[in-house]
Structure formats: structure tokens, C-alpha cells
């Protein structure tokens, strides 16, 4: 679930009905219902300008949607496991996804082309995010590590570090402190 950049809309996923929904945050009125995923939607986010949405699903796909019309713009395929986390780059030009297949992938959000596949986690990737300048990606995994990657080259930026002994599920909040 995520607010749009102006705070007037909310996007929801995380639903077993396979839909992505956009809501008016003041009235609670549903504005759009996007259909296309064939598995539960596990992660959703607005683009920084609010014009697009990204969703990740148990159907192993990442999809980009027009947030005004609800039209699907791109379907990105490549993961061999459920997609657990998705996020836009601060400039809106790229999307990052993390998956149960233990990979992190960076996609061109305007063409749908895969730019990088990052490997290094030994467990399911549960959370991903870009740094505020868009130059790095951080990923958290059930292998109890957080890894920082160069978003331009796909290379790991520094040795990984362990955060918790029970598995890191959500690094999004921690990104501001770790990078």
C-alpha cells in the first residue's frame, strides 16, 4: 500500500483477488481497479510524479500501470519466483524488484526492458528500494542480510551486512538510515 505523491490517492495490492486498486484517500471511493495479475499482488507503489504505478505479484511478474486510466503499460517477466517487493527510482525511469527466486532486478520503467539482474542472496528477497539519489539499490532477504548494489552496473557496492538473526523482511524504512 502506498500514498500517491500528492497524498490524494492510495494504491493497494496485497490482495489474493489479484487486483491493484486506486482509492481517493479522503472519501475512500475506489477510483480504479486494475486486473492482469494471475497471482496475489504482494507489493505496489506510485511513481514519484504519481502518473504510474508498479505492482509485483505471486505470478512472478512486475507490471507498470497508468494511474489515471488504469491501463497496463508494461508486463516485465524474468523472475522464477514470487515477486515480493517493487519500488520506483526517484527519477521514475527505473523500477527495482525483489523475488523469492533470490534475485534483485532493475527494469526500465518506460520500455519494460530488464537492465540488471543482481545475485548474491541465499534466501528469498523480501524488500527492495532505491537510494534517494537513485544510484544504489538496497535489498533485504530471509538470509538475514542486507545488500547494497550499484543501480547503474548491478554490482554489489560493499560487503553485505547482517541486520537480524530471524530474517530481514522489510528494509524500506531502514533505507534512510543504512545508505
Per-residue model confidence as pLDDT tens digits over 128-161: 999 999 999 999 999 999 999 999 999 998 777 7
Q: Considering the entire predicted model, what is its pTM?
A: 0.89
State residue 157's pLDDT score: 86
Residue 168's domain comprises 2-178
Q: Residue 166: pLDDT above 70? A: no
| pLDDT (tens digit per residue) in 113-122 | 999 999 999 9
CA dist 23 and 26 (Å) reads 9
Give the pLDDT band of residue 164 (cuts 50, 70, 90): low
CA dist 125 and 17 (Å) reads 23
Give the pLDDT band of residue 168 (cuts 50, 70, 90): very low
Residue 153's CATH number: 2.130.10.10
Give the pLDDT band of residue 28 (cuts 50, 70, 90): very high
Q: Are 128 and 91 in contact (CB under 8 A)?
A: no
Q: State in Å, rounded, how far the first CA of the chain is from the last one.
A: 23
Q: What is the mean pLDDT of residues 22-41?
A: 96
C-alpha cell at 171: 528494509
- Looking at the structure of the chain, the number of domains it has is 1
Q: Are 37 and 55 in contact (CB under 8 A)?
A: yes
| pLDDT (tens digit per residue) in 65-78 | 999 999 999 999 99
Q: Which of 71, 76, 59, 87 is nearest to 32 (CA)?
A: 71
Average pLDDT, the chain: 90
State residue 179's pLDDT score: 40
State residue 160's pLDDT score: 73
Q: What is the mean pLDDT of residues 37-45?
A: 96
CA dist 59 and 169 (Å) reads 20
Q: What angle do CA 2, 50, 80 make, to 5 degrees?
A: 60
CA dist 140 and 24 (Å) reads 31
State residue 165's pLDDT score: 52
% of the chain at pLDDT higher than 70: 89
What does each C-alpha distance from 146 to 31, 95, 117 come to in angstroms? 36, 19, 16
Amino acid at each position: 500500500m502506498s500514498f500517491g505523491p500528492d497524498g490524494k490517492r492510495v494504491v493497494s495490492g496485497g490482495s489474493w483477488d489479484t487486483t491493484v486498486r486506486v482509492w481517493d484517500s479522503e472519501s475512500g471511493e475506489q477510483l480504479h481497479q486494475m486486473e492482469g495479475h494471475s497471482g496475489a499482488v504482494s507489493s505496489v507503489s506510485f511513481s514519484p510524479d504519481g502518473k504510474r504505478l508498479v505492482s509485483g505479484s505471486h505470478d512472478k511478474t512486475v507490471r507498470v500501470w497508468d494511474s489515471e486510466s488504469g491501463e497496463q503499460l508494461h508486463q516485465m517477466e524474468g523472475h522464477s519466483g514470487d515477486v515480493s517487493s517493487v519500488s520506483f527510482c526517484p527519477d521514475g525511469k527505473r523500477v527495482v524488484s525483489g523475488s523469492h527466486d533470490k534475485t534483485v532486478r532493475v527494469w526500465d520503467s518506460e520500455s519494460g526492458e530488464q537492465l540488471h539482474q543482481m545475485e548474491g542472496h541465499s534466501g528469498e528477497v523480501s524488500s527492495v528500494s532505491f537510494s534517494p539519489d537513485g544510484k544504489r539499490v538496497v535489498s533485504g532477504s530471509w538470509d538475514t542480510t542486507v545488500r547494497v548494489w550499484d543501480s547503474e552496473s548491478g554490482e554489489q557496492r560493499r560487503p553485505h551486512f547482517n541486520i537480524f538473526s530471524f530474517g530481514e523482511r522489510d528494509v524500506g524504512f531502514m533505507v534512510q538510515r543504512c545508505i
